[in-house]
Structure 1
């Protein structure tokens, strides 16, 4: 008995021919040379299956029986999706899902915890040099019951579906926005700096007043007696002591501002670390 496997869309059309217990491959299409095989041990049981790896429409024909049948072969490759990023956008959360190694090109769907479709933009698709597809899809979701979401990648032609799930923490939705973080940083830096500038301004005014007073005292010394000079010298010493106290006061104020700045810096680092954990 003869058995013929052919592809009507090819020339020559022969994929695998067996006749009289022998494989007749002289007329085989060159694209299938060395790539086809029939189960010899199972032919006696009527099993004429052929192993192939090329998509297409194949015809199985038995000349003696005048019977044939057609088989549509779909070849595919699948992979599992992963959630690659979770970012907060205003009062919503942006999720991105990616899956590589698909053939043919798949479609991506987003579902909520109750199985309802979630509206998302068109996926990004890249076909690699190996002809396999990588798909990426992004969706922005609002806070809802359970905060559970599913990224589903499916290929209808090969009837295959894979998916991954994620539950977004309540803290991610409650975390402050990046604008709020910037305001906190500005306030943490600007407020202490304003205090320092004000302290330096006060010190400058005091020193200017003392210089003016000093010049006035120097003018009076020229026409004063020796006793008055001694008195002025005493006053000058007292002024220097007072100026020293003022400097010590400013130094203490600056040290206090330094401590507050260090505390604000540590608190800000802790806050940013916590925010980073939530966003990841």
Structure 2
């Protein structure tokens, strides 16, 4: 008989719990629903501690009543349940164990706000604060996001221009962000499409590549923005002037074009002068045979000397062209090897900052190539000076011959008189 009260108490507690469970199930689809107010949207980052608001109106003591926090998209749906002065965690969703709570002290003042610690990406969703006694419910939307600062690395040189290729990447974003490249003035640069990949943790990795041209500032910004979270992250980088290289093949083509044009002008001037001189000789019928022979010998000597000098210049140009082509091939091979090495490092998740040891290697490649271009330019300048000297000498010889021709004609006129 002494043990019957304990058994009766146990049955009473068990019956109360069963009745409470039944009441929770009955009230799943009941209650006065309130539309989700935009102001009731809470933004949080992964790892934050946040509070979802819920207040009884008018304020009253809710510490001895039932307050259910849940998500209707979960099974079981219960995030946290407060019942008659204590937590009721029997059917709590395992994802929230140890992370969800309400304040007993605040409940006495009608504040049933839910605190969630160490927010996870899976916490993203629509939460309901439900008070069965009053049959009222309030909805709060929790938007969980993740952001990270972007990293910029040097991807190499663009083979089609003198531009520098840059890669920007960032590995932990949610929801999907927008990636933009900006110049020093804040203008959006034209870039390749943004690539997005999802990791095993559900977060998104974004990356993009841009080719930039030399500018007065050379400061480039990679900005990543998430409009729903109203969050932005950006990284700036300054690209040194030494990284921008004018293609050697282009400079070689221009130099050789100028030099061959000069040679062509020299040859053309010689032909024109000879044609004019022959015409004058045909018109002059009284020039002595000895004078004509002397002129032919003199002209032949000058022509032979000019041809010899032109052949020598052509030989020098050919040598310069071959050496320049070898330099260009060597430079392009070094750049290709460098690009392959940087891509390999990127895949191995090594340091991706612009100021790395590999960047110093690229600087050395560019500096060496610029030095060779400087030496090549000195060779071109010397050949160009030789051509200009030939043109001056040819003009002087032409003027001298014309002066002699005029002098002979004047002497013949005097003899006629």
TM-score (ref. length: structure 1):
0.59
Give the whole-Å Cα distance in 2 for the aligned partners of 1:5 and 1:178: 70
Conserved 8 A contact 2:197-2:204 = yes
In structure 1, the partner of 2:126 is 57
Change (3 A) 1:61 1:272: closer
Structure 1 residue 128: Cα displacement: 2.0
> Closer, same or farther in 2 for the Cα pair 1:11/1:101, shift >3 Å?
closer
Structure 2 Cα separation of the partners of residues 13 and 40 of structure 1: 22
Matched, 1:275 2:358: no
Structure 1 pair 39–276 and aligned structure 2 pair: CA distance change class (3 A): farther
List per-residue Cα deviations over 1:93-127 (Å, max 9, x = no partner).
21111112223333211112222221212122222
- 1:114 alignment counterpart: 185
By percentage of residues, which structure has more helix?
Answer: 2
Deviation beyond 6 Å, 4+ runs, structure 1: 268-272
The match for 2:152 is 83
SS at match of 1:27: coil
1:51-79 residue CA offsets vs partner (Å, 9 max, x unmatched): 33311100112234443221111122211
Structure 1 pair 179–132 and aligned structure 2 pair: CA distance change class (3 A):
farther
Q: Among residues 78, 83, 96, which one is paired with 1:32 in the alignment?
A: 96
Deviation at 1:275, TM superposition (A): 1.6
SS at match of 1:273: helix
Change (3 A) 1:19 1:26: same
Query: 1:272 offset after TM fit, Å?
Result: 7.0
Q: Call closer, same or farther: CA 1:271–1:51 in 2, change over 3 Å.
A: closer
Paired with 1:277 and 1:64, the residues of 2 have a C-alpha distance of 83
Give ranges in structure 2 of 5+ residues lacking alignment.
1-64, 253-326, 335-360, 370-417
Q: Which has the higher strand share?
A: 1
**Aligned pair partner of 1:159 in 193, 217, 230:** 230
1:176 partnered with 2:246: yes
Asked if the contact 1:126–1:135 (Cα under 8 Å) also holds between the matched residues in 2, the reply is yes
Counterpart of 1:138 in structure 2 is: 209
Q: Is the 8 A contact 1:85 1:97 kept in 2?
A: no
Say whether residues 1:17 and 2:86 are aligned partners: no
Alpha-carbon distance change, 146 to 277 in structure 1, aligned in 2, over 3 angstroms: farther
Counting matched residue pairs gives: 194
Quick one: distance in 2 between partners of 1:34 and 1:75? 19
Q: Using the TM superposition, give the Cα deviation of residue 30 of structure 1 relative to its aligned residue in structure 2, in angstroms.
A: 4.1
CA shift in 2, pair 1:176/1:145, >3 Å: closer
RMSD over aligned CA atoms reads 3.4
User: When the two structures are superposed, what TM-score results if normalisation uses the length of structure 2?
Assistant: 0.41
Gaps of 5+ in 1: 184-264
Instruction: Check conservation: 1:98, 1:135, Cα contact below 8 A.
Output: yes
Verify: 1:125 aligned to 2:196, yes or no: yes
Deviations 1:209-257 (A, max 9, x none): xxxxxxxxxxxxxxxxxxxxxxxxxxxxxxxxxxxxxxxxxxxxxxxxx
Change (3 A) 1:3 1:168: same
The CA distance in 2 between the partners of 1:55 and 1:14, in whole Å, is 15
Deviation at 1:271, TM superposition (A): 10
Distance in 2, Cα, partners of 1:132 & 1:178 = 44
C-alpha distance in structure 2 between counterparts of 1:153 and 1:277, whole Å: 37
- Whether the aligned pair in 2 keeps the contact of 1:88 and 1:177 (CA below 8 Å) is no
User: 1:275–1:34: structure 2 CA closer, same or farther, 3 Å change rule?
Assistant: same
Work out the CA distance in 1 between the residues paired with 2:230 and 2:170. 17
Structure 1 residues 113 and 47 mapped into 2: Cα distance closer, same or farther (>3 Å)?
Answer: farther
Q: Is the 8 A contact 2:242 2:367 kept in 1?
A: no
User: SS in structure 2 opposite 1:42?
Assistant: helix
